[in-house]
Amino acid sequence: MRMQYRTTWWAVLAIVAAGLSTARAAEEGFRPLFDGKTFTGWQGHSDGHEIVDGAIRFKPGAGGNLLTTEEFGDFVLRFEFRLTPGANNGLGIRAPASGDAAFEGMELQILDDGHEKYAGIKPWQGHGSIYGVVAAERGALKPVGEWNVQEVTVNGPKVKVVLNGKTIVDADITPWRDGKPTLDERPHPGLKRDTGRIGFLGHGDEVHFRNVRIKPLGDG
């Protein structure tokens, strides 16, 4: 029995070690964009943002964009976010340092899209959607107050969004770059950008972000 116990114990250790190795491999090449303590590497910080328990908190009633000072082209971005009831925010990608990121870059919606006040939104306004351009599949958000895990891969004209392990956007924006009318029927010159800032786009609601890290792809 003792030998069986030892065998089982070492088997457990082997499984744990394999799991840790897999986790490290999955994170290989990533580096933090947010250190959990300061806004170093970010622009746009104001009284509307603060750091609480290692997370960026967008204060209710205050807006404003918080963008990286560094520009990125192709990348994999991973982060966690927590919504409050009815909260609205956005993830800017390939965005310029100023201007409306939803049009001058791209905005991926961050939204409590199951809230009753959003019952009438357009498909391209749901969480994870490329605002005005590509509608995301809905239903993968965790209940309000819980942390969600999101991964965004941008590679050339291809944009993929995975929320809590489920792919909700897998799009090629080439047709819209080439002049196909967008779903919101508005100009989106930012679709043609190959590089830009990454950031969170405050719309006056309380939202929390943590564990923000990036893996540049190629020369991006």
Q: Give pLDDT, residue 62.
A: 83
193 burial type by CB count under 10 A (0-12 exposed, 13-18 middle, 19+ buried): middle
Is residue 94 within 8 A of residue 154, CB to CB? The reply is: yes
Mean pLDDT over 100-116 rounds to 96
**pLDDT grade for 8, boundaries at 50, 70 and 90:** low
CATH class of 33-216: mainly beta
Nearest to 212, CA basis, from 70, 101, 88, 97: 70
Is residue 195 within 8 A of residue 220, CB to CB? The reply is: yes
**pLDDT grade for 19, boundaries at 50, 70 and 90:** very low
Instruction: Residue 218: count other Cβ atoms within 10 Å of its Cβ.
Output: 9
pLDDT single digits (tens) 117-149 = 999 999 999 999 999 999 999 999 999 999 999
In the chain, domain spans: 1-31, 33-216
pTM: 0.86
